[in-house]
Amino acid sequence: MSILKIAIQKSGRLYEESLQLLKDSGISVYNGNDQLKVTASNFPLEVYFLRNSDIPQYLIDGVVDIAIMGDNLLVEKGQGIQVAEKLGFSKCKVSVAVPKAFDYKSLNDLNGLRVATSYPKTVIDFFTSKGMTVDIHQISGSVEIAPNIGLSDAIVDIVSSGSTLFKNGLKEVEVILKSEAVLAVSPQISSESKALLSKLQFRIQSVLRSKKSKYILMNVPNDKIDEISNILPVLKSPTVMPLAEEGWSSVHSVIDEDTFWDVIDQLKEAGAEGILVCPIEKMVL
């Protein structure tokens, strides 16, 4: 029987969220013994727990079929690897940072200077596109310490909250790219594995849609139902059920998280009362 092979980060910021996504997609993966390869109990999926920087090569070589990884790593090492789905979590930036005492006015201030980074290709491509050259010092970890020990004048690294930069006396001055977790696909994936990927992706999409939406119920005067229905950004049309009180109905629909408060304000102004909002576990189209 065919089995789909997926790589995820064995530790760090992507590990927990990747496992949670699989769990939310109805896939049981138990790794209580910290194994490097585990088979799901209820889906034809084999999970490889790998060092983050090694994942692109595993995809390129066809050792795994898919992976959950940051798209910043694809920019650095993922030539030929396609993105099947943006996952919306583990958002961060790849940014240029300099010591707080650096009198930074523009990117040109870094021309010819030393830059420490774990992303040499990304840095070279960025500065080259600006017509500039920098002296790259490649570091595997703890990039933030490089200016303090005299190894570099600036760094390029992942920035989430910025607290690590602050603790090391650095300030963010330029954003090279924005990143988030993605579902990446090996260029060597077989047709059998593609069929399994399609099933997995269907589940993942249902989970992602639910996280971006809310289920909403409200009491509406019958003469306001059409007006309320025109406000609601529904999948097809709202569900309308009569209430025990004559002249009123209960209207049910789905609302986008991003526009939630704007829509709520419009519904109240149109006459909706007793508005109840509920989370959605899955949303299957």
The pLDDT tens digits of the residues spanning 124-146 come to 999 999 999 999 999 987 899 99
pLDDT tens digits, one per residue of 145-202: 999 999 999 999 999 888 889 999 999 999 999 999 999 999 999 999 999 999 999 9
The reply to whether 213-279 shares the fold of 92-179 is no
Out of 9-13, 25-29, 87-91, 235-239, pick the least confident.
235-239
**Residue-level pLDDT at 234:** 61
43, 204 Cβ separation under 8 angstroms? no
CATH number belonging to domain 4-90+181-210:
3.40.190.10
Query: What would the mean pLDDT of 261-281 be, rounded to a whole number?
Result: 91
- Complete DSSP assignment for 60-120: HHTSSSEEEEEHHHHHHH-TTPEEEEE---S-EEEEEEEETTS---SGGGGTT-EEEES-H
In the predicted model, what is the mean pLDDT of the chain?
92
Rounded-to-integer distance, Cα 48 and Cα 67, Å: 9
Look at strands 213-221 and 92-99 and give their pairing: unpaired
Confidence of residue 284 (pLDDT cuts 50, 70, 90): confident
Superfamily of domain 92-179 in CATH is Periplasmic binding protein-like II (3.40.190.10)
Question: What pTM value is reported for the model?
Answer: 0.84
Query: What would the mean pLDDT of 15-27 be, rounded to a whole number?
Result: 94
**Residue-level pLDDT at 180:** 95
Q: Does the structure show a pLDDT above 70 at 235? A: no
Q: Does the structure show a pLDDT above 80 at 205? A: yes
Look at strands 248-256 and 213-221 and give their pairing: antiparallel
Nearest by Cα to 272 from 254, 243, 250? 250
Q: Given phi > 0 = left and psi -120 to 50 = alpha, else beta, which region is 73?
A: alpha
Burial class (CB in 10 A: 0-12, 13-18, 19+), 214: middle
Rounded-to-integer distance, Cα 245 and Cα 243, Å: 5
**Residue-level pLDDT at 185:** 97
Rounded-to-integer distance, Cα 186 and Cα 73, Å: 14
pLDDT tens digits, one per residue of 238-264: 899 999 999 999 999 998 888 889 989
Q: Domain ranges for the chain, please list them.
A: 4-90+181-210, 92-179, 213-279
Rounded-to-integer distance, Cα 235 and Cα 210, Å: 13
Structure token pair of residue 281: 């576990």
For 213-279, CATH number out of 3.40.50.620, 3.20.20.60, 3.30.70.120, 3.40.50.300 equals: 3.30.70.120
